Homo-oligomer: A and B are copies of this chain.
Amino acid sequence: MSTVYAVIIAGGRGERFWPLSTDRVPKPFIPLLERRTLIQQTVDRLLPLLPPERMLISIGEAHREIAAAQLPQIPPENFIVEPVGRDTAPCLGYCALHIEQRDPDAVLFALPADHYIADSAAYRRTIEKGISALPGASGVVFGIRPVRPETGYGYVQAQESEPAAEFLSVLRFVEKPDLDRARAYQAAGDYFWNSGMFVWRNRTLLQLIEKHMQELHRGLAALRPLIGRQESRAELHRIFATLPRISIDFGIMEKTLGLRLVPAEFVWDDIGNWGALARALPHDADSNVSLGAHLALESSRCITYSDAGVVATFGVSDLIVIHAQGKVLVCSKDRAGELKRVLAALGPEA
């Protein structure tokens, strides 16, 4: 079997978990669900499958230090620093150049750094199935069976084609639906949430980019001779800035035939904002969910977080109360997805 490299994409922004996360310390680097940060949890989860030498961390220039500090077991050359952020297609193409130099026959497993996964053992079983499903496919996507009519995710339609196989054949990638469609997808049974986790042969990924994204392909060709050369940072920055801002889903996956889908056997959530904590954490008798010290008195359906002293709620309901980084957010639960408006109003103070 080919050597597998994991590419952990740590590209999340900071605004959805303000004031705990900020542009300086974005979501992958915050201790959201336990004491370890999300990216630390991601690496921990993969360690039984892969040695740290085969984990690449794709990261923005501004977060190189915090990433290195949080992941001391990852070799320094495995932090793949993007000089400018350019969405997932350029990010993965650039990582593929690094892997190509180390092992042209490697397999690339791409995954976001900041997802919630309830059961690590089931997660690793699913990943192993995905890698096993690669021979004979152009690529593999991991799909999550919808548990609600979610309008914030892309979907993948996939059906059985080989009897008794552990994978399905992808029919099509679908962009974020409206609520009616999301309901229909959930009812249909052959639609899955696109988890953002993929497997390709590294070589195939580069070929797919050549076939479907000529501009990116040309950019990568210009980048290839610079890989590993310290003195080329200015040149790297110049070329990177010319790459198209396109996601791997839109740039490649929607156009690629012969993809397979492996359904996840684990509970998954992308924890897109503070409101998602209510799905990922245990509730008290009044449906409050809390991380850190919380006293709930006649309070219900609240989400609280504290990285310092106690948060006391009294006679309130359906609130998000965050006490982090010395700041306080009190937000109606139905506004959790609009936090960027708070940051815009605060300006540099945020």
Contacts and interface: CB of A to CB of B under 8 A. Distances in A.
Interface of A: 19, 293, 295, 297-298, 306, 308-316, 319, 321, 323, 325-332, 334-335, 338-339, 341-342, 345-346, 349
B309 A325 contact: yes
B335 A308 contact: no
A316 B295 contact: no
A309 to B, nearest CB: 4
A293 B347 CA distance: 13
Given A310-B346, A314-B335, A297 B330 contact: no
Given A310-B349, A326-B308, A316 B331 contact: yes
Contacts of A346: 295, 310, 312
Contacts of A342: 295, 297, 312, 314
Contact of A313 (B309, B314, B331): B331
Contact of A329 (B298, B314, B345): B314
A309 B335 contact: no
A277 B62 CA distance: 43
A33 to B, nearest CB: 20
Nearest to A314: B331
A328 B345 contact: no
A330 B319 contact: yes
A206 B327 CA distance: 53
6 contacts: A295-B345, A306-B328, A310-B327, A315-B335, A316-B331, A316-B332
Contacts of A345: 295, 297
Contact of A330 (B316, B338, B341): B316
Contacts of A335: 298, 314-315
A332 B313 CA distance: 8
A19 B308 CA distance: 14
A310 B328 contact: yes
B327 A297 contact: no
Nearest to A333: B315
A338 to B, nearest CB: 8
A330 B326 CA distance: 16
